[in-house]
Amino acid sequence: MSRARNRRRGWSWWYLLFVLEFPAVLWPPFFNRIEPTWIGLPFFYWYQLLWVVLGVMIGAIVYFATQD
């Protein structure tokens, strides 16, 4: 019942997972550094590219958790 109501309102608590991405990639003090490097890439670059992969994973979790 509450699930049906939620679906009608179009809201799911799973959506809050998306919120994680915002501070992670929009707060440069977290990642504006060279060390640790990975295969020679400065942290700044591989950290943000890693978040592309994490973004896909978060999207996939939310997709499967909220599909009918």
Partner 1 sequence: MAHVDWIALIIFVLLFGFITWLGFAAARWRRGDLNLLHEWGLGGRRFGTIVTWFLVGGDLYTAYSFIAVPALAFGAGATAFFAIPFTIVSYPFLFLFFPRLWNVCRKRGYITAADFVRGRFGNRWLALAVTITGIVATMPYIALQLVGIQVVVGALGISGSGLAADLPLIVAFIVLAAFTYSSGLRAPASIAIVKDVLIFFTAIYAIVLLPIKLGGFAKIFAQVPVQKILLAAPSAHSTGAYGAYATLALGSSFAVFLYPHAFTAIISASSGKAIRRNAVMLQGYSITLGVLALFGFFAIAAHLDQLPEFARGFRQFGNNFAVPALLLHSFPSWFVGIAFAAIGIGALVPAAIMSIAAASLYTRNIHREFINRKPTDLQEAQMAKWVSLVVKLGALAFILFVPTQYAIQLQLLGGIWIVQTVPAILLGACTAWFNSWALLAGWAVGTLVGTTMAVAAHLTPAYPLVLGGYTFPGYTAFYTLLLNLAVTIVLTLIFNAISARGASPDETLASDYQA
Task: Return contacts of 22-25, CB within 8 angstroms, 24+ apart.
Answer: 24/51, 24/54, 25/51
Size of the site for partner 1 (CB under 8 A): 35
Structure tokens at 58: 């978060």
- Asked if 21 interacts with partner 1 (CB under 8 A), we say yes
**Nearer Cβ to partner 1, position 1 or 59?**
59
Pairwise CA distance, residues 9 & 31, whole Å: 37
Which residues of this protein are in contact with partner 1, per CB under 8 A? 7-8, 10, 15, 18, 21-22, 25-29, 32-34, 37, 39-42, 44-45, 48-49, 51-53, 55-56, 59-60, 62-63, 67-68
